[in-house]
Amino acid sequence: MKICFLVNTNQYESKRHFTRYLREALERQEIETEVIDVLEKSIDYQTLKQIEDFAPDLTASFNFINPISEHNYLWDYLKLPHLMMLVDPAIYYIDLIRSPWAILSTVDAFDAHAIYSQNFKNVFLLHHAVEREVAFAEESPEKIYDVVFIGSCYDYETLRSDWREKCDKKVSEALDAACEMVLGDNRTTIAQALVNVWNQFGLEISSQTDFLSYFYFIDYYTRGKDRIDLIRAIDDRVKVHIFGELSTNFHAVKDWFSYLSMKPNIVIHPPLNFPDSLQVLKKSKIVLNSMPFFKYGSHERLFTGFGSGALVVTQDNLFVRDCFVDGEDMVFYQSGQWDEIKGKVNDYLQDEEKRRSVVAKGRAKVQKFHTWDERAKTLKDMLPKALKQVGDRGTSGENQESEE
């Protein structure tokens, strides 16, 4: 099998990193690969020629590749299967299911189910992972950071002000209630919360109902609020080091300093690219992971944290409960239960032997189940069937076009 990866830039360059190590793992599975950087070279004749010369069975990417025309993508033009490996909520990429040449993977089981329910069957789970060079590396004895958070600041208060200006009062109140639902437990998805509040508030659905925008509001509000509340909950005697910048996905004003200036224990650092963040994790005792947007899914911090020898304190969801045990090989928190997580963090910082015991058990699971080599094996198993389904859909799509 031959796979041609298409890479582009993204914040912190995490997707280039994923591509590099998944590619190396696939090569160890005797799958031939090529990488084309579509930032350095736009998708022009030379790029198409490079793909054609390599003659892959499929193209693949973690990065979203913009359509060439309104609903036609590069792979539609090439009539070549494309694996889009989603690591963000799938709803933002739902237009991809229009393409008969698309194969989708998600990191969240609820997302995979939602796509499947749209009569798009060529979807499967492919979770985040960590490279074996990190997972099996010797642990750094130099732990200079007690608690670390690596990620962006989302200005949730300004975002809520924006939607209150744009939406009528009843819709705005429904969005507030949906945010509370998402943060209220470990299983209610953003989509489920939207449906619940629409029924609860007796709101109508019409062609003007912009559910994608409402999803976005809830998504980025809950991301921002959970991160700030989590960091604020840490004991003032514990240094918390933040590496990240203000997200500019929307009209954001308030950054980490604005939200956390009253906390004397917070140290805010410039953002890091992904490889540099791994070096910080190696020097950290505890890494915080907030991910309210996934209720049955993974995040790379779960695996890079343990792989680097840090204790992962993560937001509770169904995926982590399937894979780990709270207090045994990972530490869970639930939004709103801040006194409990404050006590847990203090406990592990004061008992290094206990912290190292949980890390060792969590790291063993990561080494066994969550490296890019394991994901490469998944792809080797899943892709033959997926490629056959694409061939069937591609043929039917061509026939439909000719009939039209």
What pLDDT tens digit does each residue of the chain (404 aa) get?
Answer: 999 999 988 888 899 999 999 999 999 999 999 999 886 555 777 888 899 999 999 999 999 988 888 778 999 999 999 999 999 999 999 999 999 999 999 999 999 999 999 999 999 999 999 999 999 999 888 999 999 999 999 999 999 999 999 999 999 999 999 999 999 999 999 999 999 999 999 999 887 789 999 999 999 999 999 999 999 999 999 999 999 999 987 789 999 999 999 999 999 999 999 999 999 999 999 999 999 999 999 999 999 999 999 999 999 999 999 999 999 999 999 999 999 999 999 999 999 999 999 999 999 999 999 999 999 999 999 999 999 999 666 555 444 443 33
- The answer to whether domain 2-129+371-403 and domain 132-154+226-369 are alike in fold is yes
- Regarding pTM above 0.85, the answer is yes
DSSP string of 59-96?
EEESS----SSSS--HHHHHT--EEEE--S-GGGGGGG
Which of helix, strand or coil describes residue 242? strand
Q: What is the pLDDT of residue 392?
A: 66
HSE-CB at 296 with a 13 A cutoff on CA atoms is: 13
Q: CB burial class (10 A; 0-12, 13-18, 19+) of residue 115?
A: buried
Report the candidate in 292, 225, 286 with the shortest Cα–Cα distance to residue 259. Answer: 225
Contact call for residues 143 and 355 (beta carbons, < 8 A) = no
The answer for residues whose C-beta is within 8 angstroms of residue 129's C-beta and 6 or more apart is 18, 21, 22, 300, 303, 370, 371, 372, 374, 375
Give the separation between CA 71 and CA 107, rounded to whole angstroms: 24
Q: Which CATH superfamily is domain 2-129+371-403 in?
A: Glycogen Phosphorylase B; (3.40.50.2000)
Backbone dihedral region for residue 45 (phi beyond 0: left; psi -120 to 50: alpha; all else: beta) = alpha
Report the candidate in 338, 277, 343, 345 with the shortest Cα–Cα distance to residue 311. Answer: 345
Token pair recorded at residue 1:
């099998």
**266-269: strand order across its sheet:** 266-269, 240-243, 145-150, 284-289, 311-315, 331-333
The answer for residues whose C-beta is within 8 angstroms of residue 172's C-beta and 6 or more apart is 163, 164
Q: Which residue has the tokens 């590749």?
A: 65
Report the candidate in 363, 381, 281, 268 with the shortest Cα–Cα distance to residue 324. Answer: 363
Q: Which CATH superfamily is domain 132-154+226-369 in?
A: Glycogen Phosphorylase B; (3.40.50.2000)
Q: What is the pLDDT of residue 379?
A: 98
Query: 130-157 in b/e burial notation, b at 16+ Cβ within 10 A?
Result: bbbebbeeeeeeebebbbbbbbbbbbbb
Q: In angstroms, what CA-CA distances link 95 with 59, 72, 84, 212?
A: 18, 10, 12, 12
Instruction: Parse the chain into domains and list their residue ranges.
Output: 2-129+371-403, 132-154+226-369
